[in-house]
């Protein structure tokens, strides 16, 4: 029980970090989208360095773990969403809430009007980018390289319009849009993020296996 409580609290904090990153991105969306996308990376950088639990950062390593890891991921996912909803709802009550809500409404409207397969494919690509950020940070021996891999990966997935399920939870909370279509799209995002990460990890493992033969 203590194990899952630890994961939940860690996931809660990771959700807070994503809210911070998403909020600064939304604040700069109208003036400097590129700068905002780079600053968004602060959230993931903190998560990685403090070893917090973020679903999109953990799901890619499912092949390295036992089946019970699936329960860890579920607790992680729930904690991420709870953390996002709590902090984003509180920020929404402040003087910057209207600005963030307005910017989020435009983003969410575009997602809601998108096709299901587009949402899935964009989520798949985002899963790959987050996997590269996490694994790149782990493997790169240089501090500056670790930072660049994380910040660039986040900036790229945002500028390309790839779908990140936890980041989107921030936008949807600020926009106040919750309906069945949104629920269905979040399922697609969660699955897409996971499959993208696992797919890339699996190919890397296949390459390593071929090199050893």
- DSSP state string for the chain: -HHHHHHHHHHHHHHHHHHHHHHHHHHHTTT-HHHHHHHHHHHHHHHHHTT---HHHHGGGGGGS-TTHHHHHHHHHHHHHHHHHHHHHHHTTSTTHHHHHHHHHHHHHHHHTS-HHHHHHHHHHHHHHHHHHHHHHHH--SHHHHHHHHHHHHHHHHHTT---HHHHHHHHHHHT---HHHHHHHHHHHHHHHHHHHHHHHHHHHHHHHHH-
Q: Residues 41-86: pLDDT tens digits?
A: 999 999 999 999 999 999 999 999 999 999 999 999 999 999 999 9
Average pLDDT of the residues in 177-190: 97
User: Measured over all CA atoms, what is the biggest interatomic distance in the chain, rounded to whole angstroms?
Assistant: 61
For the four alpha carbons of 136, 140, 146 and 151, in that order, the dihedral sign comes to negative
pLDDT per residue as tens digits for the range 7-39: 999 999 999 999 999 999 999 999 999 999 999
pLDDT in tens, 91-102: 999 999 999 999
Architecture of the CATH domain 2-212: Up-down Bundle (1.20)
118, 160 in Cβ contact below 8 A? no
First to last CA, the chain: 42
What pTM did the predictor assign? 0.96
């Amino acid at each position: 029980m203590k194990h899952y409580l630890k994961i939940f609290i860690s996931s809660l904090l990771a959700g807070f970090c994503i809210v911070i990153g998403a909020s600064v991105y939304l604040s700069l969306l109208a003036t400097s989208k590129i700068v905002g996308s780079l600053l968004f990376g602060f959230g993931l950088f903190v998560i990685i360095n403090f070893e917090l639990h973020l679903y999109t950062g953990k799901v890619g390593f499912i092949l390295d773990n036992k089946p019970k890891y699936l329960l860890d991921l579920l607790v992680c996912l729930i904690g991420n969403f709870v953390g996002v909803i709590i902090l984003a709802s509180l920020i929404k009550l402040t003087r910057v809430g209207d600005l963030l809500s307005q910017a989020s409404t435009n983003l969410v409207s575009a997602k809601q009007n998108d096709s299901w397969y587009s949402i899935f494919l964009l989520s798949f690509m985002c899963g790959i980018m987050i996997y590269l950020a996490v694994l790149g940070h782990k493997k790169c021996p240089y501090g500056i390289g670790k930072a660049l891999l994380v910040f660039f990966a986040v900036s790229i997935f945002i500028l390309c319009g790839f779908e990140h399920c936890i980041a989107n939870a921030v936008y949807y909370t600020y926009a106040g849009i919750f309906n069945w279509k949104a629920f269905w799209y979040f399922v697609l995002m969660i699955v897409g993020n996971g499959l993208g990460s696992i797919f890339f990890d699996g190919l890397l493992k296949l390459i390593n296996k071929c090199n050893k033969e």
